Amino acid sequence: MRTPDKKSLIVLREKHQVDRYIDEIVRGDLTARVIIDGMITLDDCRLVSKRGKKDIVLDTGLMSGEYPETGHADVTFAGDFELYKFSTPMLSIDIAENRRMRLTLKFPDTIIKRERREHTRVKPQEVHPVAVRVLVSNSETIDVEPVDISQGGICFMLTEYVTRFKSGDPVDLIITIPRSSNLSAGATIKNVIHLMDLTRIGAEFSVLSEEAVRTIIAYVELCEKQIVREAFDEE
């Protein structure tokens, strides 16, 4: 009987890891960011099916713009404590029902799994709302809708298609958290995503006082407790 060579054993191990990682992604119902041909970014993509080991299908919301029929996809699935990354050909992209899109990708040959070291993010609770104001100039401000917040940064939404903000730009914020004074924060824009007539911006804090950090940490813990309490009530 022929003994498998070292190269064959490595290939077998990588294929086994891919199967295991895909199962972990499905069980965790993880969302992904997909970058097509290095230019088009799609967020909140979910793996909805895998056809054997030939291809996988991702679902995402329909967004305006032109898309190639085929291309190359760089995919990152984000869990609470880990990231799964792979690159693979995009075989097709189709319009589905209810303003959704379906991306069919070639089943990846390899997946890289890495530990995710990020601050805990929470979505502001209705019972503990957060308000965010962006200082555009000395005399102009914009009230925005917070999406999530952590001691490391904040994500917020503008209810219009805005092009004035770009990745790398500095921005000054005033954050209002329940039962605390307004917090002043300097931040750097890390990503800008256009969703139809909305603009979603992720920013990383660059200037934040120790008191502000403690306030945000306390707020995150408060929201986490509220989530646990609601889950218990549902049970």
In sequence order, what are the residues at sequence separation of 6 or more whose Cβ sits closer than 8 angstroms to the Cβ of residue 205?
Answer: 151, 152, 153, 154, 185, 186, 187
Residues 10 and 82 in one domain: yes
Question: CATH number of the domain that 135 lies in?
Answer: 2.40.10.220
pTM, two decimals, is 0.50
Our count of domains for the chain comes to 2
Q: Quick one: tokens of 218? A: 């306390």
pLDDT computed for residue 1 by the predictor: 44
Residues 18 and 104 in one domain: yes
pLDDT computed for residue 120 by the predictor: 74
Distance in angstroms (rounded) separating the CA atoms of residues 35 and 57:
15
125 located within any domain = no
Residues 160 and 215 in one domain: yes
pLDDT computed for residue 14 by the predictor: 54
Tell which of 87, 115, 143 closes a domain. 115
Residues in the chain: 235
In three-state form (DSSP H/G/I as H, E/B as E, the rest C), the secondary structure along the chain is CCCCCHHHHHHHHHHHHHHHHHHHHHHHCCEEEEEECCCEEEEEEEEEEEECCCEEEEEEECCCCCCCCCEEEEEEEECCCEEEEEEEEEEEEEEECCCEEEEEEECCCCCEEEECCCCCCECCECCECCEEEEECCCCCEEEEEEEEECCCEEEEEECCCCCCCCCCCEEEEEEECCCCCCEEEEEEEEEEEEECCEEEEEEEEEECCHHHHHHHHHHHHHHHHHHHHHHHHHC
Residues of the chain falling short of pLDDT 70: 1-16, 115-119, 227-235
Residues 97 and 162 in one domain: no
Residues 35 and 82 in one domain: yes
- Domain containing residue 69: 6-115
Residues 110 and 135 in one domain: no
Q: Are 117 and 110 in contact (CB under 8 A)?
A: no
Residues 17 and 108 in one domain: yes
Q: Are 37 and 68 in contact (CB under 8 A)?
A: yes
pLDDT computed for residue 229 by the predictor: 62
Tell which of 46, 81, 115 closes a domain. 115
Residues 109 and 135 in one domain: no
120 located within any domain = no
121 located within any domain = no
140 located within any domain = yes
Residues 54 and 94 in one domain: yes
